[in-house]
Amino acid sequence: MQPGDKIDFDDYSANYDELLRESTKLYADDSEYFAKYKVDLIRGAAAASGLPVRRVLEYGCGTGRNISYLQEAFPDAEVVGTDVSAESLRIARLDHPAQRFEVEEDGLDLGRFDLIFVASVFHHIPPAVRAEVMATLARRLEPNGSIDVFEHNPYNPVTQRIVSTCPFDADAILLKPAELRGLCAGAGLAQLRQTYCLFVPPRLKWFLPMERFLGWLPLGGQYWVSARAGRPA
Ligand SMILES: C[S@@+](CC[C@H](N)C(=O)[O-])C[C@H]1O[C@@H](n2cnc3c(N)ncnc32)[C@H](O)[C@@H]1O
């Protein structure tokens, strides 16, 4: 792979779960843990905001690993998944026949969403294109809608190791939280939070409650940036 080449997730869709399990096994035996964990965080934040969640978009949903958790967290919402990988979406549709999945392409019009969830996608998007993608996502938000982005923490050595050995991360260019916050601000979004997360491996379950006090510490495996669209003037 040459610098600047992009991974085509169509080539990894059939064994995506296996590769993810293999690359993250040092941290968690069950790779579903990551999906549950992130969706639990955004469910809590949405409940605390008191704002209605009627439509949810997962941008870059891949094979749909987060979709059932999103639907469970927001049972009354319409959950839609999009991705550039048509082959990943074929698998997502098989596993989730009740949800809508669309290939991301120019001009795709899905209407507006109350919540947009993006997990481990931006580091696969070339830096020069990231602002344009964030602007597209901002345009898809309802007034007061929120976007929740989870990214690998470039300061965490375990994360760096996982990324450097995972075959589908060969094109990954990790973003520092400041870059992600800048992308949100550049798209006219107001930052709600920046929180480091995924500190404690789930097998150390007695220590898990400590995580909520550690969000400021740049040692979590990932971080979460949440931003909100303003009301139109
Ligand atoms: C590491 S996977 C994460 C999949 C899913 N979000 C998850 O948490 O399991 C990254 C996904 O981002 C998708 N992707 C990469 N660039 C994209 C873009 N510009 N727009 C939408 N999806 C993109 C890939 O096709 C892939 O399915």
212: tokens are 């909520």
Angle between helices 177-186 and 127-139 (to 10 degrees): 50
Whether the CB of 62 sits within 6 Å of ligand 1: yes
Per residue in 96-149, pLDDT (tens digit) is 999 999 999 999 999 999 999 999 999 999 999 999 999 999 999 999 999 999
Q: Is the pLDDT of residue 26 over 90?
A: no
Q: Is the pLDDT of residue 4 over 80?
A: no
Q: Is the CB of residue 158 less than 8 Å from the CB of residue 204?
A: no
206 Cα–ligand 1 center, Å: 32
Q: pLDDT at position 232, please?
A: 53
What whole-number distance in Å separates Cα of residue 120 and Cα of residue 20? 12
For residue 32, give the amino acid letter: E
Least confident of 21-25, 85-89, 158-162, 165-169: 21-25
84 Cα–ligand 1 center, Å: 7
For residue 187, give the amino acid letter: A
204 Cα–ligand 1 center, Å: 29
**Sheet with 222-228, edge to edge strand ranges:** 100-103, 78-83, 55-59, 113-119, 141-152, 222-228, 190-197
Q: Is the pLDDT of residue 167 over 50?
A: yes
Of residues 212, 165, 221, the one with CA closest to residue 40: 212
What b/e sequence results for 146-185 when a residue is b if at least 16 CB atoms lie within 10 Å of its CB, and e otherwise? Answer: bbbbbbbbbbbeebeebbeebebbebbbbbebebbbbbbe
Whether the CB of 124 sits within 6 Å of ligand 1: yes
Pairing relation of β-strands 100-103 and 78-83? parallel
Q: pLDDT at position 204, please?
A: 85
Read off the pLDDT of each residue in 81-103 and give the average, rounded to a whole number.
97
Q: pLDDT at position 233, please?
A: 47
Q: Is the CB of residue 112 less than 8 Å from the CB of residue 142?
A: yes
Least confident of 95-104, 111-120, 183-192, 199-208: 199-208
Nearest protein Cα to ligand 1, atom 5: 61
Whether the CB of 149 sits within 6 Å of ligand 1: no
Whether the CB of 125 sits within 6 Å of ligand 1: yes
Domain residue spans of the chain: 9-228
233 Cα–ligand 1 center, Å: 33
Q: pLDDT at position 129, please?
A: 96
Q: Could you tell me what percent of the chain has a pLDDT over 90?
A: 74
172 Cα–ligand 1 center, Å: 11
Whether the CB of 162 sits within 6 Å of ligand 1: no
Q: Where are the beta strands (DSSP E) in 106-199?
A: 113-119, 141-152, 190-197
Read off the pLDDT of each residue in 202-229 and give the average, rounded to a whole number.
91
What does each C-alpha distance from 44 to 4, 38, 61, 227 come to in angstroms?
A: 37, 10, 21, 15
Nearest protein Cα to ligand 1, atom 1: 120
Q: Is the pLDDT of residue 203 over 60?
A: yes
Q: Where is pLDDT greater, at 8 or 82?
A: 82
Per residue in 48-77, pLDDT (tens digit) is 999 999 999 999 999 999 999 999 999 999
Q: pLDDT at position 231, please?
A: 62
Q: Is the CB of residue 114 less than 8 Å from the CB of residue 145?
A: yes
Question: 9-228 — its CATH code?
Answer: 3.40.50.150
Run of H or E residues at 82 = strand 78-83
The overall average pLDDT reported for the chain is 93
Q: pLDDT at position 65, please?
A: 96
Of residues 30, 38, 24, the one with CA closest to residue 67: 38
| Count of C-beta atoms within a 10 Å radius of residue 99 | 20
